[in-house]
Amino acid sequence: MKNKKIIHIITNLEDGGAEGVLNRIIYNTHKKYNHKVVSLMGYGKYGHQIEEMGVEVKCLEFKRGFFSIAGFFKLLVFLRRNKSDILQTWMYHSDLIGGIAGLLTGHKKIIWNVRGDGKGLINKKYSSKIVLYLCSKLSHSLPQNIITCSYVAKINHINYGYKNNFNVISNGFDPKKFVDSFTNRNKIRQTLNVGEDDILIGTIARFSEQKNHKHIILSLKGYIKYKKNIKVVFIGMGIKNNKFIINLLKKHDLIKFFILLDSKKNINEYMNALDIHILASKFGEGFPNVVAETMLCKIPSICTDVGDAKFILGNQGWLVKNEDSYSLLRALKNAIKLKAQFPILWNKLKDDSRKRIKLKYPIKKMINAYEQNWK
């Protein structure tokens, strides 16, 4: 017999960090708890995967950037028919919309889940700033507590006016899913036409201003042409035929050095093909999952100082200033030098990267922390 009834309301179920964490939580607890999931938008990447676990998924088909009155009434009807022990909302719009709907329909225990660092909304359009403002005011009365995946996010949101009612639960990872594999490395590099002597740098992120692909291109353009054996792969939603990226690469005569790919279901295999991973985000990150995932694959990372990146990296990688081309290029040169001239230290860095994530961010630790919140 299953325990408590938990309804999750999330903005969408696309290929994102919060969505992936929700999927992992349900996968590890669906036999113990009676989960239901409401997506304000559509099924995305994870909707059908969650349904295959025997969990009901309700999609309200909100359009991106628009509030739907019809969708909100559908949510009210669903919540009236399905009473929960816990109503857990994920991300700002769901915290606001789902929290109010839960209050109107008599759900007693509402838990918010803040995933970004808050700067993502501060830097967006006016309507997004209003959502952040309303959430900050409602945080003092609506949710019983607020979960966040990031210590930096907790501090930022308290500064934005949120009630200091946060519980930081860092994301957790399955080391069996993200492993280093020489077989995968060779297979993917052959697929991408990357030689064993080439240095493959990768960024795994959807295309957006936040992820800052432009900064990587402009920071590395001269060095890539000089070295000649460097290739860069961008993998993520909206990347493959992206006109902005393609035109920028053409402008600087870099097309032959770059590989553009859309999201991959077997992303762990593509991670194995990399020599160095770069996270260049300039805002918005809470706990950048991709850093931990590449480290589990023994791929050293260079990261901008966003969200909890510095806590994830520790001493196993390079932390660089945001939007600082010199800092990014210097870190890349140091990484390449370490790989070429000090292979023993390079291999130790790779091994220590995996050990760090296994020790600090096991998935069981994350699941146990969520279950404590559900008591």
**Three-class DSSP category at 127:** helix
Per-residue b or e along 208-244, where b marks 16 or more CB atoms closer than 10 Å to that residue's CB:
eebbbbebbbebbbeebeeeeebbbbbbbeebbebee
Reported as type and span, the H/E element at residue 155 is: helix 151-159
Tokens representing 286? 């809470």
Query: Taking the domains of the chain in order of start, what are their residue ranges?
Result: 5-168, 182-360
Residue-level length of the chain = 375
Nearest alpha-carbon partner for 302 in 206, 221, 215: 215
Q: What is the CATH number of domain 5-168?
A: 3.40.50.11930
CA distances from 121 to 40, 115, 161 (A): 18, 12, 14
Give the pLDDT confidence of 139-183 residue by residue, as tens digits: 999 999 999 999 999 999 999 999 999 999 999 999 999 999 999
d(CA 136, CA 361): 29
Residue 127: pLDDT band by 50, 70, 90 thresholds?
Answer: confident
What is the average per-residue pLDDT within 279-288?
A: 93
- Would you put residue 99 in left (φ > 0), alpha (ψ -120 to 50) or beta? alpha
In whole angstroms, what separates CA 100 from the centre of its chain? Answer: 26
pLDDT for residue 126: 72
**Does 245 or 1 have the greater pLDDT score?**
245
- The pLDDT assigned to 120 comes to 66
Q: What percent of the chain has pLDDT over 90?
A: 89
Task: Tell whether the model's pLDDT for residue 16 goes beyond 90.
Answer: no
Give the pLDDT score at 121. 64
Tell me whether domains 5-168 and 182-360 share a fold.
Answer: yes
* pTM for the model: 0.92
HEC per residue, 269-335:
HHHHHCCEEEECCCCCCCCCHHHHHHHHCCCCEEEECCCCHHHHHCCCEEEECCCCHHHHHHHHHHH
pLDDT tens per residue, range 290-346:
999 999 999 999 999 999 999 999 999 999 999 999 999 999 999 999 999 999 999
Please report the pLDDT score of residue 128 as a whole number: 78
Contacts of 159 (CB under 8 A, 6+ apart): none
Does the pLDDT value for residue 1 go beyond 60? no
* CATH number belonging to the domain at 182-360, selected among 3.40.50.2300, 3.30.1540.10, 3.20.20.60, 3.40.50.2000: 3.40.50.2000
Q: Percent of the chain beyond pLDDT 70?
A: 98
Rounded CA separation 301/204 (Å):
12
User: CA dist 316 to 5, 95, 269, Å?
Assistant: 41, 35, 21
311, with CB counted inside 10 A (0-12, 13-18, 19+), is: middle
63-121 pLDDT tens trace:
887 888 999 999 999 999 999 999 999 999 999 999 999 999 999 999 999 998 887 66
